[in-house]
Amino acid sequence: MKIRRKDTPSQTFSFPSVDVSRRSVLFGAAAIGGAAALAACGGGGSDKGSSVSTAGVNSAQADGLNAIFGPGGKEGGVDVKLAAGMMLAVTGQGSFYGKVMGNGAKLAASQIKAAKGFNYDISIADHKSGDVPAALSGVRQLVTQDKIRVLQTSFGAPSEAIVPLIAQNKLLSFNGGGSSPGQAGKEYLWQTRMIFGDDPAPGGLAWIAKTYPDAKKLAIIGTQENGVAGAKTIGPEAWKKLTGGTVVANEQHDVGLTDFSSLVARVKAAAPDAILTFTYGDDVGYLVKAIREAKIEVPVMGIEFTEQGAKIAGAAFDTFNFATDFYSPDNENPWNKIFVEGHQAAYGEPPEYYGANYYEQVFFYWELVRRVIAAGGDPTDTDALQKALIDNPVFKSLYGGDAQTAGEVTFNPEDHTISKPMGVFKVVGGKPEKVADIVKVSSTADPATALV
């Protein structure tokens, strides 16, 4: 792989992998299973050259995708090249997310190309795990040097910061990792996961209230990055309505914390009957481990699950519950089976939640391209693409469905959020098992109705 520093466009550095710490870089030629590769991203806005290779993507995958989404060729956009950007955590504490998100999108681009669909030409910029100045600089470079027309962004704070750039440049954008209220209703920006923390919190608390009816005292642990409303207002208000109880501790911590001993000591002193945490990523693994090492035995309800968090917490994670729009690689939905097979072949491991979201987003773009072509429009015109989304906000999904049919998700054209299946899960042997279905409820609704 070759990576060109944007501050020195005449110099090229070679690296054996994508785990880099170079400042303000754009990625190109990202390998798919050592075989398929994206076009190289040259510095200084130079032509990226060749299109996506389909090596390593078998014909059965392509045929299966055509059966689900429609034929390739002209109506599938085979002659269309859509310049796409990704704003990811390539470096820093959240680099795990950047890797799996990028892998998901690259696999989608390769599979669509094999199905004779459009050429999704990816350039990747690094927001360094949430650094706002890096995000602003990275998007400007993607626009001016790589001429992107669409953007897959991630994390809450950097995505909120680039909202003006998205609108100014009419970048039809999806965020499937770090959705937040500050992004709702913003022009050209659509969230492809439920709002982090806020949407599943009432359902998660309703499950605790039903399962542990004597629980009255709740401790909340969160960050300033994501789930802020859930921690400050949604969680406390739902808990009071559900139990008549109170919040006895509401702690905040910096993202990337690994030593939770002081915070956990304060929580223990408050003697809660249950804990709700909006902590995410590696942090939640360290947190759950610290809670159990401190001999706090009350139920803990989180907002997400990752394999990395489970590895960090070890056996302690088998006492963890979480509520979210969780992706399962075991879903028998036929599109999901194609995704899982392709991911295993490309990367040697099954996919997880965030990789699934960013893979799915590329297919949303493909569907929009198909719709605009069918209507006789320009499939690289982001106004036309967004109109096609608003006119029909329903899309096929890896989530839900059954052995014969792909699932469905629906966007809300008013606030640009999405509705998709959610659940409460327990962790057993380091793996999630669903224990209840939950739904999004309004702020004025009885939170008990969030538990299906």
Quote the pLDDT of residue 23: 27
Q: Measured between alpha carbons, how far is residue 54 from residues 59, 80, 356 in Å?
A: 10, 16, 19
Closest alpha carbon to 409 in 322, 353, 323, 325: 325
Quote the pLDDT of residue 421: 83
Contacts of 47 (CB under 8 A, 6+ apart): none
Say which amino acid occupies 114.
Answer: A
Closest alpha carbon to 280 in 234, 235, 249, 322: 322
Reading the chain (452 residues) residue by residue, the pLDDT tens digits are 222 333 323 222 222 233 222 222 333 333 333 333 332 233 333 234 334 556 668 999 999 999 999 999 999 999 999 999 999 999 998 899 999 999 999 999 999 999 999 999 999 999 999 999 999 999 999 999 999 999 999 998 999 999 999 999 999 999 998 878 889 999 999 999 888 899 999 999 999 999 999 999 999 999 987 889 999 999 999 999 999 999 999 999 998 999 999 999 999 999 999 999 999 889 999 999 999 999 999 999 999 998 889 999 999 999 999 999 888 899 999 999 999 999 999 999 999 889 999 999 999 999 999 999 999 999 999 999 999 999 999 999 999 899 999 999 999 999 999 988 899 999 999 999 999 999 989 889 999 999 99
Helix (H) or strand (E) holding 395: strand 394-397
Strands (DSSP E) contained in 325-430 are 394-397, 407-411, 418-419, 422-428
Q: Are 4 and 12 in contact (CB under 8 A)?
A: yes
Q: What ranges in 28-127 are assigned the alpha helix state H?
A: 59-69, 95-114
Quick one: residue 197, left, alpha or beta (phi over 0 = left, psi -120 to 50 = alpha)?
Answer: left
Q: Are 179 and 191 in contact (CB under 8 A)?
A: yes
Q: Which residues pair with 435 in a beta bridge?
A: none
Q: For the chain, which domains are there?
A: 2-194+332-419 (3.40.50.2300), 201-324+422-450 (3.40.50.2300)
Quick one: residue 198, left, alpha or beta (phi over 0 = left, psi -120 to 50 = alpha)?
Answer: alpha
Quote the pLDDT of residue 194: 86
Count CB-CB contacts under 10 A for residue 19: 11
Closest alpha carbon to 316 in 332, 331, 296: 296
Q: How far is CA 84 from the centre of its chain?
A: 17
Quote the pLDDT of residue 306: 85
Going by the DSSP 8-state scheme, the letter that residue 226 receives in this structure is S
Model confidence, pTM: 0.76
Q: Are 175 and 184 in contact (CB under 8 A)?
A: no
Quote the pLDDT of residue 9: 30
Quote the pLDDT of residue 52: 52
Quote the pLDDT of residue 225: 79
